[in-house]
Amino acid sequence: MTPKKIACFVEGQTELIFVEKLFQEIAGYKKIFIETYKFQGGKANRIIQPHKSSTIKDAPFFVLLYDCGCDAHVVSDIRKQHESLTNKGYERILGLRDLYPKSLSEKGQVEGGIKGWLKLVQPMGIPIYITLAVMEIEAWFLAEWHYFYKLDSRLIPDFILQELGLDLINIDVEQRPHPSQDLDEIYRLVSRNYDKSENTSQEIINNLDYEFLYLDLVKSVNQLKRFIDEIDSFLV
């Protein structure tokens, strides 16, 4: 059986861990084989280093997942790999990056630049879909507020609202200017800190409620819905 193949380019380590887990949760661990790679070096001398692969070899779906190292490289790395992935029989390419350190006021400009580039390259190969996780992917973690009290039983929404004035149940997380700073302030309520390390990211991603994320958050977090919709349309 020849698997359906998709390539996904993300901007960093946290996104890599999250997207790998998201594919596994949506597809089912026995139905998907994932290989991850990391780009290194500047635009002129990019090197692709193998990272890891899952153990399910004979799966109906195959994901090639790249950590591009920063948001600036996501589009350029896709551009360089587009023809090769087309020739190798991949069905589509997904890209995931955020806006920070640019401001929310620059969102339209960034999206316009991406759309303009896509119009030029789309006719020449497989479809490319790029999702902008607005300011930072941590906005999606803020929205999935259940995981906080898995880390510490004190971190319920009412306590966070009382201490920080941050209403996790009702805020529009896509309008938060610096979601990773919001996470850090929440962590500090229980004498911890959010440091973007691999261990911290892994802890968060392992504790997310993927059923809530998949069934409920997509109703209020537009860019998350867009990204999951692309995964769903591939996994058929």
pTM value is 0.94
Tell whether 198 and 220 lie within a shared domain. Answer: no
Mean pLDDT in residue range 211-217: 96
Pairing type for strands 92-97 and 128-132 reads parallel
Mean pLDDT in residue range 17-25: 96
Tell whether 121 and 159 lie within a shared domain. Answer: no
Q: What is the DSSP letter of 154?
A: T
Residue-wise pLDDT tens digits, 59-68: 999 999 999 9
Tell whether 86 and 99 lie within a shared domain. Answer: yes
Tell whether 102 and 217 lie within a shared domain. Answer: yes
- Number of separate domains in the chain: 2
Tell whether 98 and 150 lie within a shared domain. Answer: no
Tell whether 103 and 124 lie within a shared domain. Answer: yes
CA distances from 167 to 104, 155, 220 (A): 20, 12, 14
Tell whether 145 and 59 lie within a shared domain. Answer: no
Q: What is the CATH number of the domain that holds 102?
A: 3.40.50
Tell whether 115 and 146 lie within a shared domain. Answer: no
Give the distance from CA 151 to its chain's centroid: 21
Q: Which domain holds residue 142?
A: 138-207
Tell whether 224 and 117 lie within a shared domain. Answer: yes
Residue-wise pLDDT tens digits, 171-197: 999 999 999 999 999 999 999 999 989
Tell whether 110 and 167 lie within a shared domain. Answer: no
Tell whether 15 and 45 lie within a shared domain. Answer: yes
Three-state DSSP state, 92 = strand
Tell whether 147 and 92 lie within a shared domain. Answer: no
